[in-house]
């Protein structure tokens, strides 16, 4: 049987040898056309033009583009590239690429390697096979990809990959990068203005992002025996192993040798690509691991995380593993997330979310800190929506993961600071002001040193010098949540600036004006702050009393993206238009439907083609046995065969339920498929199709426990997780 052959294969595997190809620091960014490479290979003019485009968003003219392209081509060919591609991030997740050769025949017997400015800067791409949420119907099917100079090109394998945006001919964004760049730019503008209250030398604020990536590694031979894992990325059934993660013996334990070889291989690949991977360790669940890079400018960090996932898949293959990015591949053990660590840094090198030594700098810290909290409070449903997906629905709100309720954790010390500020008065005497500055605002770094409290149950936690958004799914493109977070903070900072300026015009001193607005924000956003156990039932009830949203499913969550408030936000910040929002809404729901539909089909197939036939085979063995007993014992066989008879009956009962429930699920699917409108369809899949999964699974898992292990065809949890 496939299962046993696979188990033998898995058990006999040895770690793949991974040579260290030189010092890690020397490998770093060797295959990236970064500033260093450009400086060396480009004319001074071309280099200056690209730097200007990167730092100030200026356009690169055609003549310069030709020079850049030539340098890039020669560099890429020297690294072994034969092809180039415009590399982009479509709305379906993942990355997309179409390879073109540099090679071009010029006469019948002569060819050259051609790559000009035109090919670098812009490419036409058939958009019709990518989801566009109705934009296709209204506009032309074609779209184009355009070079994003702020993310450096790299050679991966034999292909020069040029990070690009992907937009429709009419200008609507068809990808995740375009709105992200707009959001980052809006945030830069808004944050710079506010930072200049404190330091006139600031002229740019950059968003930083570090994405901790969790994943599972499963032996390839074993994974191949599970159609559900291979097709949907998760196990749709399977009885929990007697041992799961109860003993906590996996977390930060010794890394298994095959996995260590994978990690070392992966790290070298990543370093060549300029991905600054730093940390590796076991995670909580068996066979679950984590990788964290050093943070980067957010756009680059998002590109690198997308690339990383791709590299991880390929390296896993070399080590005979299947890598699972699904948020909940196994019931009963932890799922995987992708913690997004987010902060802001000025071009003068100051982390705006790091408390500092002087009261005035701490007022700056408090300003950005409080404005972020206020933004999260105002737009919490949008943050929730930014991490919504069919796959993440199995994690959010399930009991080990962050809940579907967004709340902010800031720790005891900062809570005390905000409480003290909140009750301070608008009209402080000079002594009181000094007291506030020195003893409340000025004391933050001292207090901070003692902070050990880190609430792991909070979806949005302040962790010392950054916020950590933990509800992001392990499979997600981090561009989405980063775009939303950056947009809402941009909006909040703009409002903050307006309010403070108005007070200053009214005659208040700058500092007093800032305190006054912050005081109001602290009061207004208090409901979003929660320091307790985010997984508890009490919090769910309390959050409902506070009026916080708690959307447990993707269709519910996504609807928030087209609310009046959302449209006003995205339009006023210039990040997304209403047309784009509606298109994205439709695409999100379509993707949801497809995911649930596929799971439903696979589950139906496995239940009928694997589970039921195996159960019947075992039942037949039992029947034979009972018949034999009857022959031997005659009339008293019933007593001797009592257990067998009981089992035979139970097996029949489970089979019966499985059959009827699969039938009913197919009917529900048919009904849903016929619904004309995509919203109704998504709701039907969510509320009418998906509920069958648990019921069918329950009965299949019961059969797994009854049936002779020798007959069971599907690799079991204990085998998948402990090999
Ligand atoms: P944890 O305890 O969550 O593992 P770490 O200090 O190891 O915390 O940081 C986790 C991630 O946060 C890393 O990817 C790190 O690079 C990133 N990070 C640290 N500082 C910042 C920052 N200022 N902005 C964005 N990300 C950051
Ligand atoms: Mg973390």
Give nearest CA residue, ligand 1 atom 2. Answer: 463
Contact 340 CB / ligand 1 (< 6 Å): no
> Ligand 1 pocket, 682 CB below 6 A?
no
Q: d(Cα 117, Cα 218) in Å, to the nearest integer?
A: 44
Centre of ligand 1 from the C-alpha of residue 93, in Å: 24
pLDDT tens for each residue of 383-417: 999 999 999 999 987 766 778 999 999 998 899 99
Residue with CA at minimum distance from ligand 1 atom 19: 295
Regarding the beta carbon of 208 and ligand 1, being less than 6 Å apart is answered yes
Question: How far is the centre of ligand 1, averaged over its atoms, from the C-alpha of 128 (Å)?
Answer: 39
Centroid of ligand 2 to alpha carbon of 311 (angstroms) = 22
d(CA 721, CA 217): 9
Ligand 1 lined by 341 (C-beta under 6 Å): yes
Residue 238 has a pLDDT of 97
Q: What whole-number distance in Å separates Cα of residue 466 and Cα of residue 365?
A: 11
Q: What is the pLDDT of residues 154-211, one digit of tens each?
A: 999 999 999 999 998 888 899 999 999 999 999 999 999 999 999 999 999 999 999 9
- Predicted local confidence at residue 138, as pLDDT: 45
Q: How far is the CA of 470 from the centre of ligand 2 (A)?
A: 8
Positive or negative, the Cα torsion across 282, 283, 289, 295? negative
Residue 568 CB less than 6 A away from ligand 1: no
Q: Distance (Å, rounded) from C-alpha 615 to C-alpha 599? A: 22
**Which has the higher per-residue pLDDT, 294 or 429?**
294
CB atoms within 10 A of CB 705: 9
Q: Where are the alpha helices (DSSP H) in 43-142?
A: 44-56, 62-78, 117-121, 135-138
Nearest CA to ligand 1 atom 14: 210
Residue 521 has pLDDT above 70, yes or no: yes
ipTM for the complex shown: 0.96
| DSSP label at residue 49 | H
Neighbours of ion ligand 2 (CB under 5 A): 339
Question: Strand pairing of 142-147 and 159-168?
Answer: antiparallel
Specify whether the CB–CB gap between 684 and 668 falls below 8 A: yes
Which ligand has an atom closest to residue 469 CA?
2
- In ligand 1, which atom is closest to the CA atom of 351? 23
53-66 per-position pLDDT tens digit? 888 888 888 888 99
User: Which ligand 1 atom is at minimum distance from the Cα of 292?
Assistant: 14
- Taking 3-state DSSP, the helix, strand and coil percentages for the chain, each rounded to the nearest 5, stand at 55, 15, 30
Tokens coding 475: 């499979």
pLDDT of 135 > 70? The answer is no
Q: Give the sign of the dihedral formed by CA 271, CA 275, CA 278, CA 281.
A: negative
Alpha-carbon gap, residue 373 to 117, rounded angstroms = 44
CB atoms near residue 631 (< 10 Å):
9
The pLDDT tens digits of the residues spanning 484-497 come to 999 999 999 999 99
Tokens for 354, please give them. 């790091």
Show the tokens assigned to 85: 């591609």
Task: Give pLDDT, residue 127.
Answer: 61
Indicate the average pLDDT of the chain. 92
By most ligand atoms within 8 Å of CB, the mutation choice from 251, 270, 283, 295 for ligand 1 is 295
Atom of ligand 1 nearest to the CA of 294: 16
CB 597 near ligand 1, within 6 Å: no
Taking the CA of residue 341 as reference, the ligand 1 atom at the shortest distance is 26
- Cβ–Cβ < 8 Å for 75, 85: no
Q: Is the CB of 133 under 6 A from ligand 1?
A: no
User: HEC profile for 353-393?
Assistant: CCCCCCHHHHHHHHHHHHHHHHHHHHHHHHHHHHCCCCCHH
The answer, yes or no, to whether any atom of ligand 1 lies below 6 A from the CB of 368, is no
**Which of 191, 213, 292 for a ligand 1 pocket mutation test, highest count of atoms within 8 Å of Cβ?**
292
Other CB atoms within 10 Å distance of the CB of residue 175: 23
> What are the tens digits of pLDDT across the range 230-271?
999 999 999 988 776 766 666 667 788 999 999 999 999 999
> Is the pLDDT at 378 greater than 50, yes or no?
yes
CB of 209 closer than 6 A to ligand 1?
Answer: yes
């Amino acid at each position: 049987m496939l299962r046993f052959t696979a188990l033998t294969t898995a058990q006999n595997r040895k770690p793949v040898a991974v040579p260290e190809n030189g010092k890690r620091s020397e490998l770093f960014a060797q295959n990236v056309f970064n500033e260093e490479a450009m400086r060396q290979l480009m004319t001074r003019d071309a280099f200056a033009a690209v730097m200007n485009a990167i730092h100030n968003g200026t356009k690169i003219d055609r003549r310069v583009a030709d020079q850049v392209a030539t340098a890039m081509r020669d560099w890429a060919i020297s690294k072994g590239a034969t092809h180039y591609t415009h590399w982009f991030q479509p709305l379906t997740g993942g990355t997309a690429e179409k390879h073109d050769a540099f090679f071009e025949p010029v006469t019948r017997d002569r060819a050259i390697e051609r790559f000009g400015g035109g090919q670098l800067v812009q490419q036409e791409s058939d958009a019709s096979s990518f989801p566009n949420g109705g934009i296709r119907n209204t506009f032309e099917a074609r779209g184009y990809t355009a070079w994003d100079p702020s993310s450096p090109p790299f050679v991966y394998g034999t292909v020069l990959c040029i990070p690009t945006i992907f937009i429709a001919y009419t200008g609507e964004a068809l990808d995740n990068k375009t709105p992200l760049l707009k959001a980052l730019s809006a945030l830069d503008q808004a944050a710079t203005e506010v930072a200049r209250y404190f330091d006139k030398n600031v002229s740019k604020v950059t968003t930083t992002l570090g994405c901790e990536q969790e994943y599972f590694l499963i032996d390839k031979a074993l994974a191949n025996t599970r159609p559900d894992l291979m097709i949907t990325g998760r196990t749709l059934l399977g009885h929990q192993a007697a041992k799961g993660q109860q003993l906590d013996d996996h977390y930060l334990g010794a890394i298994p040798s095959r996995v260590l070889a994978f990690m070392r291989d992966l790290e070298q690949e990543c370093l060549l690509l300029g991905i600054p991977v730093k940390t590796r360790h076991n995670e909580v669940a068996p066979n679950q691991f984590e990788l964290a890079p050093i943070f980067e400018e957010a756009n680059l960090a998002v590109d690198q995380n997308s690339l990383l996932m791709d590299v991880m898949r390929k390296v896993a293959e070399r080590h005979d593993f299947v890598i699972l990015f699904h948020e909940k591949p196994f019931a009963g053990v932890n799922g995987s997330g992708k913690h997004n660590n987010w902060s802001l840094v000025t071009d003068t090198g100051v982390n705006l979310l790091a408390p500092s030594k002087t009261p005035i700098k701490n007022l700056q810290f408090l300003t950005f800190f409080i404005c972020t909290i206020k933004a999260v409070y105002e737009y919490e449903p949008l943050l929730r929506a930014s991490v919504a997906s069919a796959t993440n629905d199995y994690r959010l709100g399930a009991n080990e993961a962050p809940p579907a309720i967004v709340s902010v954790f800031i720790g005891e010390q900062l809570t005390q600071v905000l409480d003290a500020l909140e009750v301070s008065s608008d009209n402080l005497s000079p002594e009181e002001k000094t007291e506030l500055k020195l003893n409340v605002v000025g004391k933050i770094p001292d207090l901070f040193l003692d902070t050990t409290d880190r609430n792991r149950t909070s979806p949005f936690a302040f962790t010392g010098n950054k916020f950590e958004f933990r509800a992001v799914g392990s499979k997600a493109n981090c561009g989405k949540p980063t775009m939303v977070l950056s947009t809402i903070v941009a909006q909040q900072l703009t409002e903050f600036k307006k309010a403070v300026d108005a007070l200053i015009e009214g005659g208040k001193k700058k500092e007093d004006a800032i305190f006054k607005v912050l005081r109001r924000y602290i009061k207004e956003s208090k409901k979003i702050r929660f320091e307790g156990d985010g997984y508890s039932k009490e919090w769910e009830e309390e959050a409902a009393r506070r009026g916080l949203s708690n959307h447990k499913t993707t269709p519910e969550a996504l609807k928030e993206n087209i609310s009046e408030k959302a449209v006003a936000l995205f339009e006023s910040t210039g990040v997304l238009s209403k047309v784009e929002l509606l298109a994205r809404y439709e695409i999100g729901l379509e993707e949801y439907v497809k995911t649930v539909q596929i799971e439903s089909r696979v589950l139906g197939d496995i239940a009928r083609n694997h589970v039921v036939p195996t159960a019947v085979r075992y039942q037949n063995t039992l029947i034979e046995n009972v018949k034999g007993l009857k022959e031997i014992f005659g009339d008293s066989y019933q007593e001797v065969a009592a257990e067998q008879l009981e089992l035979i009956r139970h097996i029949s009962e489970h089979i019966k339920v499985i059959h009827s429930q699969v039938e009913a699920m197919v009917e529900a699917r048919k009904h849903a498929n016929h619904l004309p409108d995509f919203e109704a369809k998504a709701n039907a899949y969510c509320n009418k199709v998906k509920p069958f999964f648990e019921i069918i699974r329950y009965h299949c898992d019961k059969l797994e426990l009854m049936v002779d292990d020798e007959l069971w065809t599907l690799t079991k949890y204990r085998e998948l997780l402990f090999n």
